[in-house]
Amino acid sequence: MLYPIDAYDKHGLLKPSAMLWLTLAFSAKAWVVFVMAGASREQGAQILEVLYPLRDNLYFGMAIGLPALFLMWLTGQRYKNNKLINTLWQQGKTILLVAYMADCALQVYQLSLIHGAFRWTQAVTLLLTLWLIVYLVRSTRVRNTFADKPLER
C-alpha cells in the first residue's frame, strides 16, 4: 500500500502514525502516572492511590510498559540498518500485543480484587485497552509500519 510522501521519514521508512504513538504511550501509562506522581510531590501519593490502589500493580504496569518504551526508542534507531534492530522492530506488533494482553489480564485481576465494583478509571482504561488491541490487530498501517525496514546499502 502506498502512503503520502509525508508519511515517510528522511530515510524512506514509514513513520509510526499518531494513533500508533498514542497506542505506545497508552501502553506505557504506568510510567506516565509514575512520572506525574513524582512531579506533583504533594498529590503524588493520592494520584497513585486512585489509579493504582495496590502498589504492586503499579510495578507490574511499569514492567508491562517497558516494551512500548523500547519500541519508542527503536523508532529512532531503525534507519541504522542493524540486523538485530530490524528483527526486533519487525516483531514490534507482536511484542506490543503481548504487552496489551498482559495489561488486560492485570486489569481483570484488579477487577477481581474489588469484586467487580464499578470505577470509572478502571472501566475506561479496560475499554481503551480492548479497543487498542483491536486497532493493533486490524490496522494495515500498523502492520506496514512494523514490516518496514531500511534498504540494503
pLDDT of residue 153: 47
Whether residue 2 lies inside any domain: the answer is no
Asked if residue 48 is part of any domain, the answer here is yes
Q: Which of 126, 117, 74, 122 is nearest to 95 (CA)?
A: 74
Tell whether 4 is covered by a domain. no
Report the Cα–Cα distance between both ends of the chain, in Å, rounded.
23
CA atoms of 45 and 81, how far apart (whole Å): 43
State yes or no: pLDDT of 152 exceeds 70: no
Q: What is the pTM of this model?
A: 0.85
Task: Determine the average pLDDT of the residues in 8-17.
Answer: 89
Distance CA 14, CA 142 (A): 10
Q: What is the pLDDT of residues 111-121, one digit of tens each?
A: 888 887 888 88
100-106 average pLDDT score: 93
Whether 9 has a pLDDT exceeding 50, the answer reads yes
Tell me the residue range of the domain where 126 lies: 13-147
Q: Is residue 105 part of a domain?
A: yes
Look at residue 107 and tell me if it is in a domain. yes
Rounded to the nearest integer, the mean pLDDT of the chain is 88
Q: Indicate whether 37 belongs to any domain.
A: yes
Q: Is residue 152 part of a domain?
A: no
Helices (H), the chain: 18-27, 29-39, 41-51, 55-75, 83-90, 92-113, 120-138, 140-147
Mean of pLDDT values over 20-32: 93
Q: How many domains does the chain have?
A: 1
Which position has the higher pLDDT, 121 or 130? Answer: 130
